[in-house]
């Protein structure tokens, strides 16, 4: 039997069998890092019918940038529908020719079905994150996928900030998620974590600290997991066919 959830091999989530099941699932899903989150999602959307959750991207200024995710997805996709909860910005985007619905994806879904759902930096803001996967399962076509990007809780600077009881997170982040957390939430809705990969952005070297960090990174990468240096993780979960 090919189990789809740890509960099919053990009733105890702390049993060696359950832990081994999840460990193997995460090992299979771990994938090479990429240098740019937006470019990766743009390529993933190419030729597909896409639902972009969080199209506004927090603030109006984001839409003036060359890496505004919704614009890049729309450029590549066969079709795209955006969702967001910021009423004024949704109205403005529709006036400018975009197709965006005022809708909370954790509470309701559009009528259409999709090949791909993109949730870029959304799940860490949502009061009930499991509902994101529940909604995705309702509107994904068989074999379709949801691609979520979210802050990496094990990013080195994030760990150091935590040891000082300090944070540089967005003021409305309510949770951070590990690969195991994402895998479990996906499996609860009949989906599989197919891959997760860090975004190892070289960034701009504008300070002495950044320059030193860039010089030391190749050394650290020889001894430590690459994901420790990735601020963001991209997760792809697939709906069963």
Per-10-residue mean pLDDT of the chain, 241 residues long, equals 86 96 97 96 98 84 77 97 95 94 97 97 96 98 97 91 78 93 97 96 57 66 85 96 78
Residue listed under structure tokens 């005022």: 102
The total number of structural domains that make up the chain: 2
What tokens were used for 89?
């910005």
pLDDT for position 212 = 60
pLDDT at 2: 76
Instruction: Enter the pTM of the model.
Output: 0.91
190 in the same domain as 106:
yes
Q: Same domain, yes or no, for 22 and 103?
A: no
Instruction: Quote the DSSP letter at residue 227.
Output: G
Based on the fold, state whether residues 193 and 147 are members of the same structural domain. yes
Residue 19 domain boundaries: 1-30
Give the DSSP letter of residue 30. B
Strand positions, DSSP E, 72-202 = 79-84, 100-102, 114-120, 140-151, 191-199
Residue 18 shares a structural domain with residue 134:
no
Same domain (yes/no): 51, 26 = no
Is residue 7 located within the same domain as residue 112? no
């Amino acid at each position: 039997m090919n189990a789809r959830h740890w509960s099919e091999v053990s009733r105890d989530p702390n049993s060696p069998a359950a832990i081994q099941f999840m460990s193997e699932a995460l090992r299979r899903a771990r994938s090479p890092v990429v240098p740019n989150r937006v470019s990766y999602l743009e390529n993933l959307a190419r030729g597909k019918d896409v639902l972009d959750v969080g199209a506004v991207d927090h603030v109006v200024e984001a839409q003036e940038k060359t890496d505004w995710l919704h614009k890049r997805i729309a450029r590549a996709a066969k079709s795209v529908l955006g969702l967001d909860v910021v009423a004024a910005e949704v109205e403005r985007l529709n006036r400018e020719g975009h197709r965006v619905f005022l809708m909370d994806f954790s509470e309701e879904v559009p009528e259409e079905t999709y090949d791909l759902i993109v949730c870029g930096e959304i799940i860490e803001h949502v009061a009930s994150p499991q509902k994101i996967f529940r909604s995705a399962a309702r509107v994904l076509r068989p074999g379709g996928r949801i691609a979520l990007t979210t802050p990496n809780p094990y990013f080195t600077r994030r760990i150091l900030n935590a040891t000082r009881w300090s944070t540089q997170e967005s003021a409305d982040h309510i949770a951070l998620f590990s690969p195991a957390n994402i895998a479990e939430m996906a499996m609860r809705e009949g989906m599989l974590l197919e891959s997760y990969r860090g975004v190892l952005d070289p960034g701009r070297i504008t300070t002495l600290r950044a320059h030193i960090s860039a010089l030391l990174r190749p050394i650290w990468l020889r001894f430590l997991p690459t994901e420790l240096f990735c601020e963001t993780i991209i997760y792809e979960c697939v709906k069963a066919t």
